[in-house]
Chains A and B, each alone.
Chain A
Amino acid sequence: MNMKAMTAIAAFLALPIAAVAGPDDDNLVINDELDMISVTDAPEHVENFDKIYSGWHFRTDETQALQIDDFDNPAMIFVDQASDLFETVDGAAGESCASCHDGVESFQGLQASMPKVDSESGKLVVMEDLINKCRTDRMEAEPWKWSGGDMQAMVALLGLQSRGMPMNVSIDGPAAPYWEQGKEMYYTRYGQLELSCANCHEDNWGNMIRADHLSQGMINGFPTYRLKQAKLISRHNRFRGCIRDTRAETFAEGSDEFRALELYVASRGNGLSVETPAVRQ
């Protein structure tokens, strides 16, 4: 609320905005019943934060309101579509997700531990990989496009099953090399603007950059319904956009680089509730 009042006053006086720095202190409760952990102590492996905050705390009251009631959350239309897709037979094997999986509720807890290393292949996998593996190997259907509507709706539906549970991705054991790779990327100053993720989301969170209130760059709410784009936005699409905006040659959605970055960024939010599907500006 502070922020809005300040904006109004600043606009009225025709002064540049002297914005209120930092996150607000509202409580995130969904549907009046699900208390979310949107602020908590930073995990030990996050060196430069005392507290970690959900991106929800950096948005306007209007945007925040859209996430606290599922009837207002525009992402839920896509989640409903994914519920239908879950039951829909596709591919040569004549199967749907529901043919093998005992209800979508059976995915409870999975999102909180993603990304993770696949024990068979030893490779780091994210939710999109699991979905496409089922589609191609079991359903004998075409894989979905990474940031396509069907894919991100399904990622959101599966993620929603863990909503409220604290993020808890593994960073050691077989995940360690991927985590290190992601960490190195996080601190690399890419592009002609020479900006790292950390320059904005660690060194300057809470500050305004032009009209944007910089958050800590947490991904516990992804896929996120972004008002600007009016659709569900994948984690890798957001990474891609951020790196592009440093005037850099970005990485591809679904690249191993972005899988590693996803693991590292997800681990920075260990302890925050899964908010999927969140709503952002």
Chain B
Amino acid sequence: MKLKLLTLACLLTGSAAFAAETGPKDVSYDDYGAIEESLTGVAGDAESGAIIVGEKSKGNCVACHEVTALADIPFHGEVGPMLDGAGDRWTEAELRGLVANAKMTFEGTVMPAFYKDDGYIRPGDAYTGKAPSAPLTSILTAQEIEDVVAFLATLKEE
């Protein structure tokens, strides 16, 4: 009985969190590409964000951006601007907009959108080269976006 109740409680919490989440199609960007509202209502975890920024299978942000705070990860790219000081240059809302879909801030930017699930040309099933067999999901989840934003907000120049 106890176990059943616990499961039920988990399900309820789970669905409550889901209801509060803003899906990729429902995000509202302001005129400058910023997103004021948190996508989940749950504060981002900067430590988790740091992992997502460095992890090849996650955000892989360091493929294009150099970040001194993650200097122990080898091979940072130079396609995008350095992320040091990003927390000074941008507000949290602006960072959220940039990570979710930077094209709303910088039209035509090379940077991929990490919180978008439609509007692509020949999207594939991740990196298989094949057509997708299920509806597309965004590259990062809503909470992962919040975590990355929380990490970026910590990047301040001394």
Contact = CB atoms under 8 A, between A and B. Distances in A.
A207 B78 CA distance: 6
A96 B7 CA distance: 72
B120 interface: yes
A210 B75 contact: yes
B74 interface: yes
Interface size class of A (residues with CB under 8 A): 35 or more
B60 interface: yes
A244 B123 CA distance: 9
B76 to A, nearest CB: 4
B124 A244 contact: yes
A210 B122 contact: no
Nearest to A11: B74
Interface stretch (A40-48, A184-192, A270-278): A184-192
A248 interface: yes
A19 B79 CA distance: 11
Interface in A197-211: 199-200, 203-204, 207-211
B130 interface: yes
A249 B125 CA distance: 7
A204 B76 CA distance: 15
Nearest to B112: A193
Interface string A245-276: 11111100000000000000000000000000
Contacts of B132: 249
B60 A18 contact: no
Interface string B73-97: 1111111000000000000000000
B117 to A, nearest CB: 9
Contacts of B112: 192-195
B107 interface: no
Contacts of A244: 124, 127-129
A21 B78 CA distance: 9
A193 to B, nearest CB: 4
Contacts of A194: 112-113, 120-121
Nearest to A15: B71
Nearest to A14: B71
Given A192-B124, A250-B124, A17 B75 contact: yes
Closest 9 CB pairs of A and B: A244-B129, A16-B76, A211-B75, A210-B63, A250-B129, A193-B112, A249-B131, A249-B124, A248-B124
A245 B122 contact: no
Interface of B: 56, 60, 62-64, 66-68, 70-79, 110, 112-113, 120-132, 136, 139
Contacts of A243: 122, 129
14 contacts: A16-B62, A16-B67, A17-B74, A190-B122, A191-B121, A191-B123, A191-B124, A192-B139, A193-B139, A210-B75, A211-B75, A248-B120, A248-B129, A249-B124
Given A16-B67, A245-B127, A249-B131, A192 B77 contact: no
Given A189-B121, A191-B124, A207-B79, 20 more contacts: A16-B71, A16-B73, A16-B76, A18-B78, A19-B78, A188-B121, A194-B112, A194-B120, A194-B121, A195-B110, A204-B110, A207-B78, A208-B75, A210-B75, A210-B76, A243-B129, A244-B127, A244-B129, A248-B129, A250-B129
Nearest to A241: B129
A195 B110 CA distance: 7
A240 interface: yes
B124 A208 contact: no
Contacts of B56: 210
Contacts of A240: 129
Contacts of B75: 16-17, 208, 210-211
B121 to A, nearest CB: 5
Contacts of A200: 79
